[in-house]
Amino acid sequence: MKFETKVIHAGVEPDPLTGAVMTPIYQTSTYKQDSPGVHKGYEYARTQNPTREALEKNLAALEKGYGAVSFSSGLAAMDAILKTLESGDEIISTNDLYGGSYRQIKAIFEKLGIKSKFIDMTDPENLRHAISDSTKLIWVETPTNPMLQIVDIEAICKIAAEKGIKVCVDNTFASPYLQTPIDLGADMILHSATKYLGGHSDVVHGAVICKSESDYEKIKFVQNASGAVPGPMDCFLILRGIKTLHLRVERACQNAEKIAKYLRDHPKVEKVYYPGFESHPGHEIAKKQMKKFGGMISFDLGNNNEEAAMKVLAATRYFLLAESLGGVESLIGHPASMTHGSIPPEERAKIGLTDSLIRVSVGIENGDDLIADLDSSLKNI
Ligand SMILES: *Cc1c(COP(=O)(O)O)cnc(C)c1O
C-alpha cells in the first residue's frame, strides 16, 4: 500500500455491526461480559478501545513500525517512553529541543534519577564522544525546533546500534509523509499528533510507534499502567485529520518554500532558517532523509531586537500569534518568550535562539496572501 492509500485505509475497516464507513466513536468506559472473563476482547476502556485501536494500526502503518500506542498528548507519550528507563540510566538528546520535552527530562525525570546530556548532534561524532556506560536512550529531534537544524538520523542510529543503545526520533515536525525514521534505523518514533497528524488545531494527542514487538509491549504496558490514554473522540479526530495528511503537508511545503525565499530577500530580515536552502548546513542530509523540506521557517530580525520582533508579531492578520504548529492555518510565534520560555537564557543563546527570532508554521492558505501579510507586517519596523 502506498502512503496516500495508507492514510485512508490502514487500520480502518467498515464497522462490522452496521457497515459504517467511518470508524465509530466508541464512547464507552466498559464492555458487557457474557460471563466473568468471557468477552469480545474488550474489558475496560483504559485498556482497550476500538476507535483508538484503528488509529494505532493506522499510525503503525504510516511509520512502518510493529505497533503504535497512543496517549492524551505528545508529552504523555514521551513520559511513557522515559518511564521504561531506570534510575541511573542516561538519556542523550539533541540540544535544540522542544521546550516541553526539555522540561520533562530536567524537571520530572532528573529527580527520579535519570541523567541527561544535551548535545549538538548535527555532527554525529559528538554523540560517539558523549556516550557513557549508562547511556540507554538517544533522543533525536529533526528538523529541530525552532532552529531547524538537521540531524543525520541514519548516522546517529549507526553509532547507537554499535553500542546497543535505543534511538527515539521525535518526528512531529516532519510527519511520516516527509520522513520515516524507522527506515533509517530508529527504534521508536514520538509524535505530538496535536500538530501535523491532527492538522486542524482542534485536538491534543500523542503517540509512540515502535519498530520491535518488545518495545511495543513495554510502552503498551505503561499506557495501561500509568493511564494517560486519549479519549475516543480525540482518536477519531486524529484519524480523520490523517486522511488528508499528504495533501496538507504537500501544500504547506510549497507555501513555505515561497515564503522562505521572500524572507531571504527582505532587507529587514537578517537570517532565515529553512532546510530547503542550499546554503543551510543540513540541506544535503535533509534532501537524503526527507521527501520535502517541511512547513516550518524561523527568521531573525537581528541585534537581539525583541521590540522589532514584537511589532511584527502583533501586526499579522492571517498568521495568528499562537503556540503550536502543523495546522491548516498559519501561525506565528516568538520562541524565546513562548514555546522555549522554560529553557534558560544561556542555553537559548548557545543555539542562536535570540530574542529577535520569529518562528512561523506555514498553513495551507494561498501563498501570495501569506506573503502579502508578512510584507505589510514587516513595514512596521
Ligand atoms: C508539541 C510538541 C511536543 C509535545 O506535544 P503535546 O501534544 O503538546 O504534548 C513534542 N515535540 C514536539 C516537536 C512538539 O512540537
Same domain, 216 and 270: no
Tell me if 245 sits within 8 A of 177, measured CB to CB. yes
Number of residues that make up the chain: 381
The alpha carbon of 100 and the centre of ligand 1 are apart by a number of angstroms equal to 7
Q: How far apart are CA 287 and CA 273, in angstroms?
A: 15
Active site residue 98: yes
Q: 74: Cβ below 6 Å to ligand 1?
A: yes
Same domain, 206 and 353: no
Q: 172: Cβ below 6 Å to ligand 1?
A: yes
Which pLDDT belongs to residue 79?
A: 98
Active site residue 264: no
Same domain, 31 and 80: yes
Same domain, 228 and 249: no
Same domain, 164 and 289: no
The alpha carbon of 358 and the centre of ligand 1 are apart by a number of angstroms equal to 18
Domain termination site, one of 242, 262, 293: 242
Q: Which three cell numbers stand for residue 380?
A: 512596521
Domain count, the chain: 2
Q: 192: Cβ below 6 Å to ligand 1?
A: yes
Q: 195: Cβ below 6 Å to ligand 1?
A: yes
Q: 145: Cβ below 6 Å to ligand 1?
A: yes
Tell which atom from ligand 1 comes closest to the C-alpha of 206. 7
Same domain, 43 and 132: yes
Mutate to test the pocket of ligand 1, among 144, 151, 172 (most ligand atoms within 8 A of CB): 172
For ligand 1, atom 5: residue with the closest CA: 74
Domain termination site, one of 224, 242, 260: 242
Per DSSP, what are the bridge partners of residue 167? 138
Q: How far apart are CA 235 and CA 247, in angstroms?
A: 20
For ligand 1, atom 1: residue with the closest CA: 192
Cα angle 179, 186, 163; round to 5: 150
The alpha carbon of 84 and the centre of ligand 1 are apart by a number of angstroms equal to 19
Same domain, 147 and 63: yes
Peptide bond into 143 cis (omega under 30): yes
Phi-psi region at 38: left, alpha or beta (left = phi > 0; alpha = psi -120 to 50):
beta
Which pLDDT belongs to residue 350?
A: 80
Catalytic residue among 42, 46, 261, 287: 46
Q: How far apart are CA 40 and CA 252, in angstroms?
A: 43
Task: Kindly provide the b/e burial profile for residues 285-323, where b requires at least 16 CB atoms within 10 angstroms of the residue's own CB.
Answer: bbeebbbbbbbbbbbbbeeebbebbbbbbebbebbbeee
Tell which atom from ligand 1 comes closest to the C-alpha of 325. 15
Which pLDDT belongs to residue 343?
A: 75
Tell which atom from ligand 1 comes closest to the C-alpha of 76. 9
Which pLDDT belongs to residue 339?
A: 83
Q: How far apart are CA 206 and CA 195, in angstroms?
A: 9
Which pLDDT belongs to residue 344?
A: 81
Tell which atom from ligand 1 comes closest to the C-alpha of 141. 13
Tell me if 266 sits within 8 A of 371, measured CB to CB. no
Q: How far apart are CA 333 and CA 57, in angstroms?
A: 34
Same domain, 190 and 311: no
CB atoms within 10 A of CB 162: 10
Diameter over CA atoms, the chain: 74
Tell which atom from ligand 1 comes closest to the C-alpha of 205. 7
Per DSSP, what are the bridge partners of residue 273? 298
Same domain, 222 and 262: no
**Amino acid identity, residue 231?**
G
Q: 204: Cβ below 6 Å to ligand 1?
A: yes
Catalytic residue among 152, 170, 234, 300: 170
Q: 99: Cβ below 6 Å to ligand 1?
A: no
Beta-carbon-side half-sphere exposure of residue 226 (alpha carbons within 13 Å): 22
Q: How far apart are CA 246 and CA 241, in angstroms?
A: 10
Q: 194: Cβ below 6 Å to ligand 1?
A: yes
- Give the mean pLDDT per block of 10 residues along the chain (381 residues): 97 95 97 95 97 98 98 98 98 92 96 97 97 98 94 98 98 98 98 98 98 98 98 98 98 98 98 98 98 98 95 97 96 92 80 94 98 97 91
Same domain, 187 and 285: no
Domain that holds residue 289: 245-378
| End-to-end Cα spacing for the chain | 50
DSSP letter for 48, please: -
Same domain, 158 and 211: yes
Domain termination site, one of 242, 258, 290: 242
The alpha carbon of 144 and the centre of ligand 1 are apart by a number of angstroms equal to 12
Domain of 257: which CATH number? 3.90.1150.10
Domain of 131: which CATH number? 3.40.640.10
Same domain, 81 and 166: yes
Which pLDDT belongs to residue 96?
A: 86
Q: Which three cell numbers stand for residue 255?
A: 507555501
The alpha carbon of 205 and the centre of ligand 1 are apart by a number of angstroms equal to 9
CB atoms within 10 A of CB 29: 8
Residue with cell 476502556: 45
Q: 100: Cβ below 6 Å to ligand 1?
A: yes
pTM as predicted: 0.97
Which pLDDT belongs to residue 352?
A: 87
